[in-house]
Amino acid sequence: MDRKSLTRFAGLSIVAAVLTIALKGAAYFLTGSVGLLSDALESFVNLAGALMALTMLIVAARPPDEDHAFGHDKAEYFSSIFEGTLILVAAGAIGIAAISRLLHPRALEQVGLGLAISATAALVNLGVGLVLLRAGRRHYSIALEASAHHLMTDVWTSVGVLVGVAAVSLTGWQRLDPIVALIVAGNIIATGARLVRRSVSGLMDAALPPGDQQAVQRALARYCDAGVQFHALRTRQAGARQFVSLHVLVPGGWTVQRGHNLLEQIEADIRGALPRAAVFTHLESLDDPASWDDVELDRSTATPPKTQSNENRPPRDPTSA
């Protein structure tokens, strides 16, 4: 699917947020429940997150250019960080309102109608959340997945609030409502922290998940039996795109064409294992000691350039690298 088409899912999230804000706001004004107010405030966060997701999905869909040769996929992480931060702010606001109501309890009104409206809003979020979650996983969109998880958390939040309001109605203990609101705030904080942590990890070029790294290793394993070696294998995730780079060491007597053919096959095998990966390979000689110094991300400046005087140095034992 064209990445630009993913914006329609963000549009669906915006519509759902506006609808749930209206429903939950009405439920709060009918009942006076601070728990329902907390639920409505979180829907404002949903709306802000959905607008940000739409913007970042548009940016992420842009093709590579001279200033962004590796594409714009990381833009989706900004959406997740933004949404996670708003979630934390909303949690603080909910906590303040809940503590105030805990100290100064107030009777709830028109509980039945308020619960019915809030339950309808929860069902809207549930349906949209499931759609976004499937789309995010199918198209590897972190922005959509973040919006989906937030909506699903909103559903469980709504369930908790409904239980709290119902408990107040049955027991008459007014402080149950703000206590549930505080629990809701704690749940929201946990969700926001997870979103921010995941996004920061992506911006920091975290390696691919272990399963994907193992898929790369399996793709390379069959070449090791043919006397080919590898090192400086690095992976990273950038939004929907994956990057894999490695050095391929072959006997020094090989022709350029033979080495090139091997690299083409290796890259094809890795892309077969990871269809979303951009693969970069670098050919080196097994017979050149300098090849074994070229392992770290920043090659040591202390390594002397290859000259006629050191051209015949015996190769370093690969097992010691």
At residue 278, φ and ψ (nearest 5 deg) are -100, 125
Q: Do domains 3-203 and 210-320 have the same CATH topology?
A: no
Q: What is the CATH architecture assignment of 3-203?
A: Up-down Bundle (1.20)
CA dihedral sign of residues 135, 138, 139, 143: positive
Q: Which pTM value belongs to this model?
A: 0.67
- C-alpha span between 232 and 251 (Å, rounded): 18
Sorted by where each begins, the domain ranges of the chain are 3-203, 210-320
Q: How many CB atoms lie within 10 A of CB 190?
A: 13
Q: What is the pLDDT of residues 30-85, one digit of tens each?
A: 777 666 676 677 677 778 888 888 888 898 888 888 888 888 888 888 888 887 78
- Residue carrying the six token digits 């469980």: 156
**Domain 210-320 CATH class label:** alpha beta
> In this predicted model, what pLDDT tens digit does every residue of 246-288 receive, in sequence order?
999 999 999 999 999 999 999 999 999 999 899 999 999 998 8
DSSP assignment of 169-183: HHH--TTHHHHHHHH
Which alpha helices (H) appear in 139-286, and where do they start and end? 142-171, 176-203, 210-224, 256-273
Residue 320, both tokens? 């010691």
Nearest 10 degrees: CA dihedral of 64, 66, 67, 72? 0
